[in-house]
Homo-oligomer: A and B are copies of this chain.
């Protein structure tokens, strides 16, 4: 097989996506781009409200309408924007009408809120595909994932007469902050899936290495807290205030003092705290951005429950109202050994792969776990594959860049999964 045009397409698509990064739930340009591409290839495509359970959405920002305007001004197809109904994400399905397994892939499409580096040292800047959206950057390789998904769509379509069963390509919004995976899962998109593969570039693994599975995802919850107290003149009437800043400070300290759990790793971070209005006013409001993590659901629940208690008590201590909002959540999961073996076998036959690794500990979080668990619960098999890629700087860093050749390795692997599932190879 000749893959040289695939690599050219991959790079071109990736760079187009890289220049148009969009943060979670605002991927209107990206969704329109993906949907157009897939439709052009010949897929039936669903977008937005048709692939998202709105009641299961977490952490969606308030300024979605402005992003729709922006996307349109950047050339997004108004017809697709209209179909989305205000929500992002897409799914392409190829139903062969022949008996066979349902095989699904997850590609995450959102970017990180990073200000992209400039200058000759940074390839996207040097080569002219740096982000046009200030404060937004594809610094976690989701542009690569999405490009690989479109390339896979093209290859799968070209094989369609030899395949059986169904192939589903899921383009998930809002993976950063683990906000979108649950809403796609709750929409039922995974309910009929037999084989599920998510893939991620990099993750500390070099180009040429493939890791066939992952375990040890930390369960995590992202929550926003708002405290609402009462202002008063700090010199003249200090006793009349209800001090939201001190409530938040007390919460922050005591949240970090939550006892560890003997059953495994726990984490908690108050990442952001903003409080107060004027220097001489008892601070009437405060807000915090928090994340909790635990090695298992039980441990994560322990941390989260303790956190809620600390927040509530801190607010009550200062007579302050509070509101907590869950803005992201992911669970733990593990890859299936059988599917890992299949992937490992396929990987070892790829020319550019020089090493196939065993399962690794994630030590982080990804909301593809909701999808993996849903598939496993009904008897399907799932894995989360790491496609090694040399990177220019750490994930989320403003100089992040991955090795574009790894996209071809990933593509070959996923094409292999489809072929294997259909019994073609």
Indicate whether A257 reaches chain B with its CB closer than 8 angstroms.
yes
27 contacts between A and B (CB under 8 A): A218-B235, A236-B262, A236-B364, A238-B261, A238-B269, A239-B263, A245-B271, A245-B273, A246-B254, A246-B270, A250-B250, A250-B253, A250-B254, A253-B254, A269-B281, A269-B282, A270-B276, A271-B278, A271-B279, A271-B280, A271-B283, A272-B283, A278-B396, A280-B291, A309-B316, A312-B316, A317-B317
Tell me which residues across on chain B come within 8 A of A249, comparing CB atoms.
Answer: 248-250, 252-253, 273
A243 smallest CB distance to B (angstroms): 7
Indicate whether A256 reaches chain B with its CB closer than 8 angstroms.
yes
Partner of A278, one of B113, B220, B309: B113
Indicate whether A131 reaches chain B with its CB closer than 8 angstroms.
no
Which residues of chain A have a CB within 8 Å of any CB of chain B? 113, 177, 218, 220, 222, 233-239, 241, 243, 245-246, 248-250, 252-254, 256-257, 259-263, 265-267, 269-283, 286, 289-291, 293, 302, 309-310, 312-314, 316-317, 319, 363-365, 396
Partner of A275, one of B259, B263, B273: B273
B262 contacts A289, C-beta separation under 8 Å: no
A273 contacts B272, C-beta separation under 8 Å: no
Partner of A279, one of B222, B261, B364: B222
Tell me which residues across on chain B come within 8 A of A269, comparing CB atoms.
Answer: 234-235, 238, 279-282
Tell me which residues across on chain B come within 8 A of A364, comparing CB atoms.
Answer: 235-236
Inter-chain CA distance A25–B277, complex, in Å, is: 20
B235 contacts A267, C-beta separation under 8 Å: yes
Name the residue among A237, A249, A263 with the largest chain B CB count within 10 angstroms. Answer: A249
**A259 and B282 contact, Cβ closer than 8 Å, known pairs A250-B253, A267-B234:** yes
A102 smallest CB distance to B (angstroms): 33
Tell me which residues across on chain B come within 8 A of A235, comparing CB atoms.
Answer: 218, 220, 267, 269, 291, 293, 363-365
Tell me which residues across on chain B come within 8 A of A281, comparing CB atoms.
Answer: 269, 271
A277 contacts B272, C-beta separation under 8 Å: yes
A279 contacts B177, C-beta separation under 8 Å: yes
Tell me which residues across on chain B come within 8 A of A293, comparing CB atoms.
Answer: 235
A283: nearest residue on chain B (CB-CB)? B271
A272 contacts B272, C-beta separation under 8 Å: no
A238 contacts B260, C-beta separation under 8 Å: yes
Inter-chain CA distance A312–B276, complex, in Å, is: 22
Inter-chain CA distance A282–B260, complex, in Å, is: 12
Inter-chain CA distance A316–B312, complex, in Å, is: 9
A87 smallest CB distance to B (angstroms): 22
A262 contacts B238, C-beta separation under 8 Å: yes
B266 contacts A234, C-beta separation under 8 Å: no
A260 contacts B257, C-beta separation under 8 Å: no
A63 smallest CB distance to B (angstroms): 18
Tell me which residues across on chain B come within 8 A of A262, comparing CB atoms.
Answer: 236-239, 363
Tell me which residues across on chain B come within 8 A of A365, comparing CB atoms.
Answer: 235
B271 contacts A273, C-beta separation under 8 Å: no
A234: nearest residue on chain B (CB-CB)? B269
A4 smallest CB distance to B (angstroms): 37
A15 smallest CB distance to B (angstroms): 25
A343 smallest CB distance to B (angstroms): 24
**A309 and B314 contact, Cβ closer than 8 Å, known pairs A253-B250, A271-B279, A291-B280:** no
